[in-house]
Amino acid sequence: MDVNVILENIPLYIEGMWVTVQLVVLSLILGLALAVPLALVATSRRRFIAFWPRAYIYFFRGTPLLVQMFMIYHGTAQFDWLKDSALWVVFKEAYWCALIAFALNTAAYTGEMLRGAIAQTPFGEVEAARAYGMSRWTRFRRIILPSACRRALPSYGNEVIFMLHGSALAGVITIVDLFGAAKIVNARHFVPFESFMAAGFFYLCLTLLIVWIFRIAETHWHAYMRPREEEGEEKGSFPARSAPAYAAKGL
């Protein structure tokens, strides 16, 4: 074990980690922004309308992220009309191609997650919203979406972790992210075990950070589905009702 090589290259790893964090955060933001309308349209009762977001979701969930990224990075270079267009400033850069691939990919997964959560919205709550005069849009914005986001939170935490790990693919197309940094260290010093283990360590730290953030978010957003804390039962108060099944699973 050659720890010195790693210590010498810590700045390179930190730089790579910064690129990884940027890529992941940006693709998550873009992905989420795309996922909400995707999920909304995918839950449409009109089949012809719901077909398009669903097809999108099937495509991106049905093919490997690496393939998607190669299609966007290597594939687009094949089209002269694209090379001649203003869009080429985006598509010639590995960084933007990776970002586009990641965002489109996570949008599909997040959209599917939200679609499922929206479909599970308790019918009575939506009906109450209608009965109080809320328009379709107000219902979606105020009742359905906040309720669905809360239900989707645990699985979204997983998606964020998958996205972090999937982002290592950026290192394959010349981007110096955390994985790219490890590749450089390995190429320079030929210590594959140490260099990739160091990258693994940094990925692990980021994962723990994500887990921690989601734990805090769940404490905050899931208060309504936790069994009630036993306070000193005052007179007239009623024993805590059984919480929904998913609360019992510790979600």
Contacts to other proteins by CB under 8 A = 122, 124-125, 127-135, 138, 142-143, 146-147, 150, 223-225, 228, 238, 240-241, 243-244
Kindly tell me which of 130 and 215 has the beta carbon lying closer to other proteins.
Answer: 130
Kindly tell me which of 4 and 138 has the beta carbon lying closer to other proteins.
Answer: 138
Residue 218 C-beta: closest distance to other proteins, Å: 13
67: CB partners within 8 A, 6+ apart: none
Residue 109 C-beta: closest distance to other proteins, Å: 23
* Chain center to CA of 193: 29
Distance CA 78, CA 215 (A): 45
Kindly tell me which of 52 and 132 has the beta carbon lying closer to other proteins.
Answer: 132
Residue 157 tokens, joined: 């935490």
49-86 core/surface letters (b: 16 or more CB in 10 A; e: else):
eeeebbebbeebeeeebeebbbebbeebeeeeebeeee
Residue 243 C-beta: closest distance to other proteins, Å: 6
Kindly tell me which of 149 and 210 has the beta carbon lying closer to other proteins.
Answer: 149
* Position 107, amino acid: A
Residue 184 C-beta: closest distance to other proteins, Å: 47
